[in-house]
């Protein structure tokens, strides 16, 4: 094999992923750590990376405390309600109390914010959303990170964490490779903040072949945020809480502005309001949760899925009325310009003008996320002042591995952070990481050259598999001793889809299916040793696949552990179709033993720190 150059870097704070949370972490680390060496490593290029790469039309998390629009407590109640009671309220509250200051900085940095001409306040799209001209959102936050970091490394994929050899539960940095040059990179670091986004493409997507890659969630979000800590033995939480989105069919264009601003609504193929019809049935499954306001996202999905299964699809968004108003028509189209141009292209290709045709909606394949309307991710410490003892171990947003922090989609338990909340959480994690270093917790970390060299061999193995294995090909591309990343990905997606509750089974699974799924995932894990990569891009694909596979194992273990259907519309446990508050009003937490690869599961109480609105009024 060719000799590969190794680059060594030493730093105080290493930020893995330069999306919303990573740019927030990089920016804030400099504020508190003036003399620290701060490095951000990004798989793509931070100017246009992560879920916000194309821009956004709304900032979905803004309290508006300066105008007394909402308080952090209100946001906790909202997230708790939407997640059917199960969130880390300490984390949500902590994010919410700081998020406005983040948004005000975005405003200062030149992000074009829409203003309400009558009030002069930010233009609200909904209770929590404010509207922006957000095509340039990502370059703006990237600039803040670039000005703060000692160095930004683009095009480097982090594949493994380095661990301290004196204290096996302390992080010592990370390694990865440059996808353009193939060079190997070793980052020895006192603290690592993982901000690598969530996971798409672990379940089979609706668009295969003709439009593969066309998913709601960014195809480049490959679960590194979960795989890196899972492999190192960090605890994870609520990984079963995968997200399913209701969006415009095929282009996955956003529906929020349509519902909230254009006041469009949905109907079945017969022109009926179908949601009401499923009220009684849903009530039998989840009890009083169906009466909560607003209706939890999963329950709205549930009505959609059931209606389609009852044979009354397609479900449509009624746009024909709103689009008669030229102003709303413009907004409807502009909504896609800032973030999902592809939806307009899909409509053009299908001859859909929403002024004359009500476009179809669909429910997506499941994804794993910690910042949107679900809260999968790492089990982290909360803030000192409000977290109960079980949720607090010294440093805000630190995982169960010392010196390893998380933010954004990486962190579990705290949903509805969105772009602004993820940036905020990055800031919170960075502040805590600086304190950790200041408290001398990162002294004398030992990471030997051997540890790094061992990883180097592992990382480039897929190139070797290909180089050796291709000689056995006698015709075509079918190799007897290696397989390509795309073949492995499709195998993974099929397992997750059919056994763990994907689209082809209408999100249904059960204990037998999950156990079989775990068995098949184990065989896949074994076979992944034989994945082959013909170039550096395929090497990235190989590692994306490996990260997706371990994330999938964790999702499946969690789904097996929770014996109830907590979020109908996200997935169903056919053997436990009802929500079971008596036994499962708790958070699920897992740990994979790095030595044996076995997962151990536990229940941890969910503490309701913030009172109900009604009780507050009464007291
Ligand atoms: C389709 C969609 C629409 C959304 N709409 C809105 C909206 O309208 N308003 C709103 O406020 N929020 C919205 N959000 C939510 C918002 O985008 C996320 O909450 C936010 O981006 C999460 O931040 P993050 O840093 O965790 O992940 P990301 O911003 O996705 O960043 C993760 C980064 O990590 C990098 N990375 C991944 N793996 C590695 C690795 N192994 N090594 C190095 N780097 C790596 C990625 O390239 C990426 O840059 C939307 C999200 C999606 C998916």
Helix, strand counts (H, E) of the chain: 17, 19
Q: Which residue has the higher pLDDT, 401 or 1?
A: 401
For residues 306-333, give the mean pLDDT.
Answer: 95
CA of 479 to the centre of ligand 1 (A): 36
Smallest Cα–Cα separation from 266: which of 298, 296, 307? 307
Share of the chain above pLDDT 70, in %: 98
Instruction: Flag whether pLDDT at 43 surpasses 90.
Output: yes
CA of 52 to the centre of ligand 1 (A): 6
pLDDT band at 555 (very low <50, low <70, confident <90, very high): very high
pTM, two decimal places: 0.97
Instruction: Flag whether pLDDT at 617 surpasses 80.
Output: no
Q: Residue 337: its pLDDT value, please? A: 77
Bridge pairing between strands 151-153 and 316-318: unpaired
Q: Residue 212: its pLDDT value, please? A: 78
- Give the CA angle between residues 503, 231, 401 to the nearest 5°: 120
Span between the terminal Cα atoms of the chain, in Å: 72
Instruction: Flag whether pLDDT at 210 surpasses 80.
Output: no
Q: Residue 382: its pLDDT value, please? A: 98
Instruction: Flag whether pLDDT at 62 surpasses 80.
Output: yes
> Which helix (H) or strand (E) is 585 found in, with range?
none
For residues 103-116, give the mean pLDDT.
Answer: 97
Instruction: Flag whether pLDDT at 614 surpasses 70.
Output: no
Contact 61, 100 (CB under 8 A): no
Q: What tens digit of pLDDT does each residue of 325-378 get?
A: 999 999 899 888 767 888 999 999 999 999 999 999 999 999 999 999 999 999
Q: Residue 346: its pLDDT value, please? A: 92
Q: Residue 54: its pLDDT value, please? A: 87
Atom 51 of ligand 1: nearest residue by CA position: 51
CA of 425 to the centre of ligand 1 (A): 13
Q: What tens digit of pLDDT does each residue of 533-542 get?
A: 999 999 999 9
CA pair distance 590, 398, nearest whole angstrom: 16
Which atom of ligand 1 is nearest the CA belonging to 426?
Answer: 25
pLDDT band at 615 (very low <50, low <70, confident <90, very high): low
Mutate which of 14, 16, 17, 61 for ligand 1 pocket (most atoms within 8 A of beta carbon): 17
The Cα-based distances of 414 to 147, 155, 212 in angstroms read 29, 29, 30
Which atom of ligand 1 is nearest the CA belonging to 245?
Answer: 1
CA of 388 to the centre of ligand 1 (A): 29
Instruction: Flag whether pLDDT at 40 surpasses 50.
Output: yes
Smallest Cα–Cα separation from 162: which of 326, 357, 8? 8
CA of 206 to the centre of ligand 1 (A): 21
Q: What tens digit of pLDDT does each residue of 451-509 get?
A: 999 999 999 999 999 999 999 988 887 889 999 999 999 999 999 999 999 999 999 99
Mutate which of 54, 334, 418, 544 for ligand 1 pocket (most atoms within 8 A of beta carbon): 418
* 411 secondary structure, DSSP code: B
CA of 385 to the centre of ligand 1 (A): 28
Which atom of ligand 1 is nearest the CA belonging to 51?
Answer: 30
For residues 266-282, give the mean pLDDT.
Answer: 96
Q: Residue 577: its pLDDT value, please? A: 98
Atom 8 of ligand 1: nearest residue by CA position: 58
For residues 411-434, give the mean pLDDT.
Answer: 98
- Weakest mean pLDDT among 22-26, 292-296, 339-343, 515-519: 339-343
Atom 3 of ligand 1: nearest residue by CA position: 51
CA of 218 to the centre of ligand 1 (A): 8
Which atom of ligand 1 is nearest the CA belonging to 221?
Answer: 37
Contact 386, 94 (CB under 8 A): yes
Mutate which of 50, 114, 185, 229 for ligand 1 pocket (most atoms within 8 A of beta carbon): 50
Atom 35 of ligand 1: nearest residue by CA position: 17
CA pair distance 437, 123, nearest whole angstrom: 41
CA of 51 to the centre of ligand 1 (A): 3
Smallest Cα–Cα separation from 157: which of 185, 123, 135, 199? 185
Cis ω before 314 (30° cut-off from 0): yes
Which atom of ligand 1 is nearest the CA belonging to 21?
Answer: 25
Share of the chain above pLDDT 90, in %: 91
Contact 371, 246 (CB under 8 A): no
Contact 322, 263 (CB under 8 A): yes
pLDDT band at 619 (very low <50, low <70, confident <90, very high): very low
Q: Residue 618: its pLDDT value, please? A: 46
Q: For the residues of 9-35, what is the DSSP string, one character each?
A: EEEEEEEE--SHHHHHHHHHHHHH-TT
Q: Which residues line ligand 1 (CB under 6 A)?
A: 16-22, 41-44, 49-52, 56-60, 157-158, 195-197, 216-218, 220-221, 224, 371-372, 408-409, 417-420, 422
Mean pLDDT of the chain: 95
Q: Residue 2: its pLDDT value, please? A: 67
CA of 408 to the centre of ligand 1 (A): 8
């Amino acid at each position: 094999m060719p000799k590969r150059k190794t680059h060594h870097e030493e730093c105080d704070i290493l930020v893995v992923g330069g999306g919303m949370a990573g740019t927030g972490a990089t920016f804030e680390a400099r504020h508190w750590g003036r003399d620290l060496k701060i490095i951000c490593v990004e798989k793509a290029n931070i100017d246009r990376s992560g879920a916000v790469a194309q821009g956004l039309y709304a900032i979905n998390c803004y309290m508006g405390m300066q105008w007394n629009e909402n308080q952090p407590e209100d946001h906790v109640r909202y997230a708790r309600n939407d997640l059917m009671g199960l969130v880390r309220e300490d984390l949500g509250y902590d994010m919410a109390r700081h998020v406005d200051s983040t948004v005000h900085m975005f405003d200062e940095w030149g992000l074009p914010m829409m203003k309400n001409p009558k009030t002069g306040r930010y233009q609200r799209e909904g209770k929590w959303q404010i509207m922006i001209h957000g095509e340039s959102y990502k370059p703006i936050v990237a600039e803040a990170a670039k000005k703060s970091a000692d160095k930004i490394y683009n095009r480097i994929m982090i594949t493994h964490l380095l661990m301290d050899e004196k204290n096996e539960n302390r992080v010592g940095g990370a390694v990865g490779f440059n996808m353009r040059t193939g060079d190997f990179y070793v980052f020895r670091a006192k603290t690592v903040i993982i901000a690598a986004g969530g996971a798409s493409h672990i379940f089979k997507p609706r668009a295969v072949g003709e439009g593969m890659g066309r998913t709601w969630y960014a195809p480049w979000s490959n679960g590194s945020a979960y795989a890196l800590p899972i492999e190192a033995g960090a605890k994870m939480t609520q990984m079963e809480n995968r997200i399913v989105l209701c969006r415009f069919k095929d282009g996955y264009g956003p529906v929020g502005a349509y519902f909230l601003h254009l006041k469009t609504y949905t109907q079945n193929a017969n022109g009926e309001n179908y949601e009401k019809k499923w009220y009684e049935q849903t009530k039998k499954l989840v009890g009083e949760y169906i009466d909560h306001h607003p209706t939890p996202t999963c329950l709205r999905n549930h009505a959609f899925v059931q209606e389609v299964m009852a044979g009354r699809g397609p479900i449509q968004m009624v746009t024909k009325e709103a689009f008669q108003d030229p102003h709303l028509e413009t907004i409807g189209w502009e909504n896609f310009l800032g973030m999902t141009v592809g939806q307009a292209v899909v409509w053009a290709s299908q001859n859909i003008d929403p002024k004359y045709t009500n476009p179809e909606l669909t429910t997506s394949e499941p994804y794993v996320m910690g910042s949107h309307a679900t809260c999968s991710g790492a089990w982290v410490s909360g803030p000192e002042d409000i977290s109960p003892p079980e949720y607090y171990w010294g440093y805000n947003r630190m995982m169960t591995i010392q010196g390893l922090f998380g933010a954004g989609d990486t962190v579990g338990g705290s949903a509805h952070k969105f772009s602004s909340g993820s940036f905020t959480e990055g800031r919170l994690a960075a502040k805590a990481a600086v304190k950790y270093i200041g408290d001398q917790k990162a002294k004398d970390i030992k990471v030997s050259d051997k540890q790094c060299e061992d990883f180097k061999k592992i990382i480039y193995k897929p190139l070797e598999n290909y180089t050796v294995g291709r000689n056995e090909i006698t015709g075509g591309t079918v190799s007897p001793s290696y397989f390509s990343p795309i073949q492995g990905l499709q195998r993974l997606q099929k397992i997750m889809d059919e056994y763990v509750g994907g689209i082809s089974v209408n999100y249904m699974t059960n204990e037998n299916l999950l156990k079989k799924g775990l068995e098949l995932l184990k065989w896949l894990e074994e076979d992944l040793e034989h994945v082959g990569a013909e170039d550096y891009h395929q090497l990235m694909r190989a590692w994306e696949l490996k990260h997706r596979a371990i994330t999938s194992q964790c999702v499946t273990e969690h789904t097996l552990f929770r014996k109830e259907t907590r979020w109908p519309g996200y997935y169903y446990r056919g053997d436990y179709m009802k929500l079971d508050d008596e036994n499962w009003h708790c958070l699920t937490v897992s740990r994979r033993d790095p030595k044996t690869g076995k997962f151990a599961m536990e229940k941890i109480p969910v503490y309701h720190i913030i009172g109900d609105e009604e009780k507050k009024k009464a007291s």
